[in-house]
Amino acid sequence: MALHWERMAKISVTAATVLVVWTATFCAQAQSAPDSPDKVWHANVEKKLRDELTSRPESKYTVDTTRPYTMAELIDLAEEHNPETRVAWQEAKARAAELGIARSALYPTIAAVALAGTLRNATLVNAFFQRQTEGFFEPTLHVEYLVFDFGGRGGAIDAAKANLLFSNLAFNDTHRKIIFDVSAAYYRLLNARGQREASEVSLKNAQTVEADAQDRLNHGLATKPDLLEATAARAQSDYDLQAAIGAEDIARGNLATTMGLPPETEFQVQDIHDLSTPSAMVDSVDQEIDRAFAQRPELLEQVAKVRAANAAIKQARSEYFPTLSFRGDGGEARAYGQTNLNPGGYAEGELWTVGLQLKWTLFDGLRREQEVAQAKAEKAGAQANIDALRDQIANEVWTSYANMRTALRQQQAAAALLTASDQSYEAARESYGYGLRNLLDVVSAQKTLAQARSEDILARAQLLLQVADLAFRTADLIQAQPPKVGP
């Protein structure tokens, strides 16, 4: 017996040693903090993360490069492929599943249970131990049902409904933001392309003036400084053109990124001259603000938060009352028994248990009081956010309305300036041809025309952008959209 215990002790010591060594090795290989603050942290797990990221397929789609896209078509593509809409969609689906989970508490739960086991023990009978061997198998059905809980489940369902409503409104708000982002990027691209086209026209005008100056110098009707001035103006126009080309490339990349495309994707869009611009304000600022109050998703989200807080208060208050639940099991049992070395035997029969439980929590360390207080505070916070958002939205709409009104007047002034500048340039060139004006007057008129052409494009784009911004602030952007099944 002593030898047996000695062997057991050695085995235990050896097993403990192996466990300690394994634990130390695992801890050494596990992720840890950087060794010092002055070195960049790198570890094997970082490479694994990079490999995992690389292995994930990148979401891509193609566009038709043979035709120009309208803004509505670009918005449809962005709503379908922008990952933010998919994130918001999945979040709403998760909240819908939570509502289903909350409603499941209204129904009983039924579980199939199979219990099997065997045991052997010794029972003392008089002066002798009687060895008994038993084996059993019990397949049963277990039923649990909460009969009554004073509104606890109803409060959970109401809270889940409010959270689902919140997620649906957040989903709509994601679409509102994406629509505006695409619209803004689209109008900025139109402006950049218009600026590039205006710069090309200005360069052609500058080249024409330079050619006129060269011709007049060749015929003795101009001086060398006149030609140099025209050449400098042409070089400046070429410089402005290169800057406009770069700005157009950046604007195109920004629009492509907003649509969920690589920034280097090539595609065509409508020309800014093909778009109509408003000539007057349609509604008053008060009408715009009232419409924003009724439509802004984030304001409605706070109303949903108030609903969720009311449901949480209802659920918390239900904890003050008792709950009545039902529990039962039903099935059959099959068993085997044997005493000592006597012949054993099998037996079987049905079994069932049924019970009602009335549970009433009398004291819980003021947990219920704190849960009610927390829910009331969240409700008050949501109500305060409604007032704060009303003020913020009113200011946003007022600012956007004023910007649109200013952009409207600027566009009208820019159009008049372009007409006057074009006439002035043509008159200066004609007078220069008759010798009534000098070249500096022509170059100045050409620069003024280039500036007027640029401001006209900018004013058009800015007016369209302010129209989109006002629709964004009032949430009109998502009111005219057809219902979508997917993201």
User: What's the pLDDT at 45?
Assistant: 81
19 or 42: which leads in pLDDT: 42
User: What's the pLDDT at 23?
Assistant: 54
DSSP string over 78-111 = HHHH-HHHHHHHHHHHHHHHHHHHHHHTTS-EEE
Residue 5 has pLDDT above 50, yes or no: no
Which residue reads 């024409």 in tokens?
208
In SS3 terms, the chain reads as: CHHHHHHHHHHHHHHHHHHHHHHHHHHHHCCCCCCCCCCCCCCHHHHHHHHHHHHCCCCCCCCCCCCEECHHHHHHHHHHHCHHHHHHHHHHHHHHHHHHHHHHCCCCEEEEEEEEEEEEEEEEECCEEEEEEEEEEEEEEEEEEEEECCCHHHHHHHHHHHHHHHHHHHHHHHHHHHHHHHHHHHHHHHHHHHHHHHHHHHHHHHHHHHHHHHHHHHCCCCCHHHHHHHHHHHHHHHHHHHHHHHHHHHHHHHHHHHCCCCCCCCCEECCHHHCCCCCCCCCCHHHHHHHHHHHCHHHHHHHHHHHHHHHHHHHHHHCCCCEEEEEEEEEEEEEEEEECCCCCEEEEEEEEEEEEEEECCCCCCCHHHHHHHHHHHHHHHHHHHHHHHHHHHHHHHHHHHHHHHHHHHHHHHHHHHHHHHHHHHHHHHHHHHCCCCCHHHHHHHHHHHHHHHHHHHHHHHHHHHHHHHHHHHHCHHHCCCCCCCCC
What average pLDDT score do residues 302-322 get?
92
pLDDT digits (tens, 9 = 90+) for 396-430: 999 999 999 999 999 999 999 999 999 998 898 88
What average pLDDT score do residues 187-212 get?
90
What average pLDDT score do residues 337-347 get?
84
pLDDT level of residue 6 (50, 70, 90 thresholds): very low
User: What's the pLDDT at 249?
Assistant: 95
Residue 12 has pLDDT above 60, yes or no: no
Residue 252 has pLDDT above 60, yes or no: yes
197 closest CA partner among 278, 273, 275: 273
6 or 337: which leads in pLDDT: 337
What average pLDDT score do residues 296-322 get?
92
pLDDT digits (tens, 9 = 90+) for 424-464: 988 988 887 777 777 778 788 888 888 898 899 999 999 99
pLDDT digits (tens, 9 = 90+) for 24-72: 554 544 556 777 787 787 777 877 888 887 777 666 788 888 889 999 9
pLDDT level of residue 134 (50, 70, 90 thresholds): confident
Is 65 within 8 Å of 266 (Cβ atoms)?
Answer: yes
pLDDT digits (tens, 9 = 90+) for 371-385: 999 999 999 999 999
What average pLDDT score do residues 112-124 get?
88
Is 78 within 8 Å of 178 (Cβ atoms)?
Answer: yes
In SS3 terms, 467-478 reads as: HHHHHHHHCHHH
**% of residues, the chain, pLDDT over 70:** 91
User: What's the pLDDT at 409?
Assistant: 94
> Which of the residue ranges 45-59, 78-92, 171-185 would you say has the lowest mean pLDDT?
45-59
Residues 6 or more apart whose CB falls under 8 angstroms from that of 382 comprise 302, 303, 305, 306, 309
pLDDT level of residue 482 (50, 70, 90 thresholds): very low
pLDDT level of residue 358 (50, 70, 90 thresholds): very high
Is 133 within 8 Å of 337 (Cβ atoms)?
Answer: yes
What average pLDDT score do residues 293-298 get?
92
Residue 309 has pLDDT above 80, yes or no: yes
User: What's the pLDDT at 31?
Assistant: 58
Is 163 within 8 Å of 105 (Cβ atoms)?
Answer: no
Interhelix angle 297-318/367-433, rounded to 10 degrees, is: 180
For the chain, the average pLDDT equals 86
pLDDT level of residue 471 (50, 70, 90 thresholds): very high
Residue 128 has pLDDT above 90, yes or no: no
